[in-house]
Structure 1
Amino acid sequence: MFIQTDTALEERPALQKKTKTGIVWHGIKRDKILYVLMLPGLLFFLIFKYVPLWGIVIAFQDYSPYMGMWASDWVGLDHFTRLFGNLDFFILFRNTMLISLLNLVFFFPVPILLSLLLSELNNMVFRRWVQSIVYLPHFLSWVVVVGVTFLLLSQSSGVVNLALADMGFQKIDFLTNKSLFWIMLTLQNIWKETGWGTIIFLAAIAGIDPQLYEAAKMDGASRLRQIWHITLPAIRSVIIVLFILRIGQIMDVGFEQVFLMMNGAVSEVADVFETYVYRVGIQGGQFSYSTAVGLFKSFVGLFLVVIANQLAKRFGEEGVY
């Protein structure tokens, strides 16, 4: 009798494990179409995000394409010492951080405000029409956006300067003025990505219980009061998660936009880590050094995400993880 009991106790974990495995496989078979749809995304991240992580080791090597990753000499932290000792490091760090902070302060709230305005439109036809218009700039490449900027703001033949000259005003040097460069980058981002950024916020607003607004109306709350006390608190968690993720990208300002807008007159305020990596890595062939620069950027982004996430949790929010 005791032997049977002991055997049953030994078999119970195995049966539980088998049962859990069966439940997982049953769920996979049941939702196999969804997993097939998810497969391209998983393959994308696996091939282009996780597999290239092996290349990080060349940041600690004197990498030579002829010798390969395994035969190249190890140099430890020499490339990082060179980066931090570089006279251009402060300029690169300053430009990158300030451009990102301007986008964070002025660009990040705009999709939220636009989402609130769109959600207040009762005419659904007009609302969809507005949404379609504000989505369109997202699908334009930065080459097109910068080309339009040059056509509008060029000092010699730009539409804006020609209009100013016709009205008797002095032409403004938009494209080679250092004090205007960061502002133009921020305005370009706002124009191009605001509409696309409203998608998540509009989805979050659509999930709010309409009975909350009906109860607020019965209590005499105005539309602004309803937005302040119902809409914004309901989408606060979404705002915080996206804000944390945006902080993690604070060292990524967008190579293509900055590279196309940069010229010799504004290079002092336009040179960022992406353009620096392009010069020393792609053009100069210093693969190990440019990898060290990229690893430094990733470390800063990870550090800021961890700090922001901990602060969010301390204030009672869920955070990213």
Structure 2
Amino acid sequence: MTAPVQTTSVLRAYSCLLVAVVCWGVEYPLMKRATAAVGFCGTGAVMFSISAVLLGLTLAGRRVFGRGERMPKAPGSGQRARLPIRTMLLVGVVGITVNVLGLWAVKLTRVVNVATLARADALFSLVLSAWVFGEPIGRRAWFFVPVMLGGIGLLTGFLLHPLEVGNPGDYLILASAFGVALNAYAIKKAVQSVSGLVVGCVNSTMIGLFFVILVACQSREVWQDVTAEAWAALVMLGVLAYLFFASYNTALRSIPVWKVRLVCLLIPVVAALTAWAWFGDRPSSVQVLGMGLILAGAAGIIVVRDCPVSPASSAGGKNAAETMESGRQICTG
């Protein structure tokens, strides 16, 4: 792959990641309005069902117009690789679990705890990348982690008002955050073999069906007085979820998981700005400072190109040219 093609691919991946971050951030204020009208289960049922339908229609359209992706050939054989069905099912199961834990936790703990502890997924991703999945992490990247987490602390307020952790909901949020980090690796594995649209469609369909079943077991009275404004919010959530799944999965194909999850720390910034623009919830000067730190950290994470020194190169087992070439290969994406 030539350098210009690599650059284009990386830029496309980061563009998709930023689209996913914006979509996820805008979802939070809309979700607050939708859940007030139809509850969490109703919101999840409509939101993920619309997303699944749109993803399915997109896949059908790509197939009709000849833009569908072919399965890559399996290594060492001339046959096409099989669909990663087990991995995609795992993505769906973990997705359901993460949503259930998150919704359950919201009822048990404070909003500030949810907003803060949910960001632990970035730390879990770093730990999994460094010590489990072996993703190379640049030394300079570690500098930006406390910068972004400090920004999160100012934005959510827990640096000024210490968290009271110990509620069962807090542990549910941490479990949900770990599931988000773990699911990112499962998605990354799946999208190496099949389009991110397929993975997103399966994931969204499974989560949507789960919430539809929950809604079917509940009273239908809540749907009788739903306003047009609430329906508009629900439809908007479905469209945003569609864009998120398509963009997020595409980004994970080319960008390391730890970097994706750190950039996703921008989501609270987008949510705060959206709440300010739509509902007049103006952030304080301290929160604005927190946003600035998060933005600065995200910019540093995106542009960082410092790679860890490999044992072989530090031992003198490679010459300078070979070491530089291997460093370029590791740092791409």
**Between Structure 1 and Structure 2, whose CA radius of gyration is higher?**
1
Q: TM-score range by the shorter chain?
A: under 0.3
What is the TM-score normalised by the length of structure 1?
0.27
What is the TM-score normalised by the length of structure 2?
0.26
Which protein, 1 or 2, shows the higher relative CO under an 8 Å CA cutoff with sep ≥ 6? 2
